[in-house]
Copies of this chain bind each other. A is one copy, B any other.
Amino acid sequence: MTKTKNNENKAILPEPTIRRLPWYLSYVRMLDNLHVEYVSSTQISKELNVQSSQIAKDLSFLNIRGKTRIGYEVHSLVTELEDFLGFNRHHDAVVIGTGSLGTALMQDHGLEHYGLNIVAGFDVRQDVIGQRMGGILVHDIKDLAAWQREHGVSIAILTVPVERAQETADLVIASGMTAIWNFTPYRIKAPDDVVIANTSIYAHLAIIYNRMHNTSVGNNRQ
């Protein structure tokens, strides 16, 4: 993983801010492609349904400030957001558990546009070990620690069956990896210096099902 020179200056942002930044980025990337030069927070606000005061506050965390009556310079905003979010640097990762979701992620080249480069897969199943998925070699999970000592990759994408989530996370952490992107619905326990990000796509399904049966009653957004 490439380190940025500015790490030491980078504050821990409130998570809602980090979640909104990629929305701003998508929108200003579009404007940049259309060769739009400036954008106001009012315009971003209208487009994304986020209050303009919130946008100004979020961007001020990055030391980005608009000019009075002109707004933000689109191209620099794209660059600064990409740089801040880490999307323009390469981050190597491994997929642990090459079932349907794991394989799907190994084949999703969209992740590369956000700086994530999957370099290996790991599994317990003898019939997939040694095979390639989306061009990426699947290794025996038993070799994880040795492989990690050689390659020094920090991020593990966890897509094992839920009942294997904790024990596999323990293996990953013991191998020296420091970040787990957890796609299982299991709440992994890990030491404080290990980063855990939970992407519970199934929880979102529950939200859809629940809201679909209740759209007449009220709030339908998440």
Q: Which residues of A contact B (CB under 8 A)?
A: 1, 3-4, 7, 10-13, 15, 18-19, 21-23, 25-27, 29-30, 33, 47-50, 85-87, 89, 91, 99-101, 103-105, 107-111, 114-116, 154-155, 162-163, 178-179, 181, 184-187, 189, 192-222
Pair B206/A22 contact, Cβ less than 8 Å: yes
- B195, A212: Cβ atoms under 8 Å? yes
Query: Would you give the shortest CB distance from A21 to chain B, in whole angstroms?
Result: 6
Known contacts A104-B104, A213-B10; is-contact A30 B110 (Cβ 8 Å): no
How many Å lie between the Cα of A39 and that of B101 in the bound state? 30
Q: What are 12 inter-chain pairs, A to B, with CB distance below 8 A?
A: A1-B212, A18-B203, A21-B206, A30-B162, A49-B187, A85-B206, A89-B209, A91-B209, A100-B108, A104-B108, A179-B211, A196-B220
How many angstroms between the C-alpha atoms of A186 and B23 in the bound complex? Answer: 6
A59–B39 Cα distance when bound, in Å, is 46
B105 A189 Cβ-Cβ under 8 A: no
- Contacting pair A110 B115 (CB below 8 A): no
**Could you say which of B12, B100, B215 contacts A195, with CB atoms under 8 Å apart?**
B215
Residue of B nearest to A85 (CB): B206
CB distance from A85 to the nearest CB of B (A): 4
Q: Which residues of B contact A212 (CB under 8 A)?
A: 1, 154-155, 178-179, 195
The answer, among B26, B104, B155, B195, for a CB contact under 8 Å with A107, is B104
User: What is the bound-complex CA distance between A201 and B203, given in angstroms?
Assistant: 13
Contact B194 A220 (CB under 8 A): yes
